[in-house]
Amino acid sequence: MIVYLVRRVGQSLFAIVAMAILVFVGVYAIGNPVDILINPEASQAEIAATTARLGLDKPLWEQFLVFAGNALQGDLGDSFVYGRPAVEIILDRLPATMELAFFALILSVGIGVPLGVIAGLKPDGIAGKSIMAGSILGFSLPNFWQGMILILVFAVLLGWLPAGGRGETVDVLGIRVSFLTWDGLRHLILPAINLALFKMSLIIRLARANTREVMLLDYVKFARAKGLSHRRVVMVHILKNIMIPVVTIIGLELGSMVAFAVVTETVFAWPGMGKLLIDSINLLDRPLIVAYLMMTVGIIVTINLVVDVCYSLLDPRVRLSEAKG
C-alpha cells in the first residue's frame, strides 16, 4: 500500500509540475498586458517602468523560476489589475462558485437518479423513451445556448426569475451565501439548472444502464420471488446498488463543475471564479489566470488521487497491479 501511495503521489506531483510549465508558458508568452493596463498616451519611460515593476522585463524562463519559487511558498503572484494576491481574490469568489456547483449537483442527482431508474425500469415505455430523448438533448445542446434559452423563457417571456447576478446575500460564519434569502435563491435557480443539465443527462444514462444490469441479477429475482413489493425491490435492492458507480462519477464530476462553471457564470453574470477568469483573460491579468488554472489543476489532481486511493482500499487488485507495473 505504501509503494502504491508513494507512486500515485509522485505521479500527481509530476502532473502538477508539467501543468505549471505548460500553463505559465502558454499564458505569459501571449500578448503584452502593459498595453492594456496603462494609459495609451504613456511615455516610453512610463511603459518601461511599468514593465519592470510587473517583472515582465525578465526572460520567460527567469519569470517562471520566480513564479515556481513563490508557488512553493504558497504565493501564486499578485494580480496586475487589483494589486492583491491572486489566491486571495480567487478565494473571495470561491463561495459563489461552490454554492452554484453544489446546487447544480443536488439538482443533477435529485432529478437524474429517479429519471434514470424510471428509464431503466420501463425502457420501452413512453416515459423511458422521453427521458432518454431529453438526456440526449442535455448532452447535445451547447451549455451557453441552454442558458440563453432559460433566460429567454423564464426571465424575459414569463418574468418568473431574474436573468443574472447573485441577488441578496447573508453572512454565515464570515462567508456570503445567497441561498438563505428568497432573492438570492431566485437568482440561483436558473444558473444552477444550466450547470446541472449536462451532469443530469450523464447521471440519467448511468443510472439507466446500471438499473438494467442490476434488474437481471439473481438477488433481485430472488427478492421478487419472495413476494416483496415492487417499491421495496426498487428502493432497497436496485437503487442501493446502482448508487455505487453514480457516487463515483459524482465525486469526479464535482471538481469539474467547480473548475469549469465558466460558461454558466458568464451567461448569468454570476460573480464566481469562472467570471473572474473571463474578466482576467480580457485584461491579460496573467497572475490571476495562472493562479486560477493551477488551483483548478490542484483540485482535479487531488480528487483523482483520493478516488484512486479509495479504489485501492476497496479493491486490493488495483494497488497490486500498480506495484507490478
Strand partners of residue 85: 78
Helices 286-314 and 273-282 sit at what angle, rounded to 10 degrees? Answer: 140
Using DSSP's 3-state secondary structure scheme, residue 166 falls into coil
Does residue 309 register a pLDDT over 80?
no
Which pLDDT value is given to residue 270? 87
Indicate the pLDDT class of residue 91, thresholds 50, 70 and 90. Answer: confident
Please give the C-alpha separations between residue 103 and each of 30, 107, 169, 273, in angstroms, as whole numbers. Answer: 36, 6, 16, 16
pLDDT in tens, 130-182: 888 888 888 788 888 889 999 999 999 998 999 888 888 888 877 888 888 88
Q: Which grid cell sits at 291?
A: 493562479
Q: What average pLDDT does the segment 101-127 reach?
A: 88
Rounded-to-integer distance, Cα 298 and Cα 15, Å = 9
What secondary structure letter does DSSP report for 83?
-
pLDDT in tens, 236-267: 778 777 776 777 777 667 777 776 688 888 88
* Domain range 97-276, its CATH number among 3.10.50.40, 3.40.50.2000, 1.10.3720.10, 3.40.50.1980: 1.10.3720.10
| Cβ neighbours around 206 below 10 Å, total | 19
C-beta separation of 87 from 79 below 8 A: no
Q: Which grid cell sits at 246?
A: 453514480
What secondary structure letter does DSSP report for 38?
S
Q: Which grid cell sits at 191?
A: 444558473
Which pLDDT value is given to residue 311? 67
Least confident range from 104-108, 217-221, 247-251, 299-303: namely: 247-251
Closest CA to 273 of 195, 325, 160, 162: 195
| Cβ neighbours around 122 below 10 Å, total | 13
Which pLDDT value is given to residue 242? 77
Closest CA to 67 of 12, 31, 14, 23: 23
Question: What average pLDDT does the chain have?
Answer: 83
Does residue 323 register a pLDDT over 60?
no
Model's pTM, two decimal places?
A: 0.75
| Residue 305 dihedral angles phi and psi, to the nearest 5° | -65, -45
pLDDT in tens, 264-277: 888 888 888 887 88
| Residue 295 dihedral angles phi and psi, to the nearest 5° | -65, -35
Which pLDDT value is given to residue 260? 67
Query: What is the maximal distance between C-alpha atoms in the chain?
Result: 87
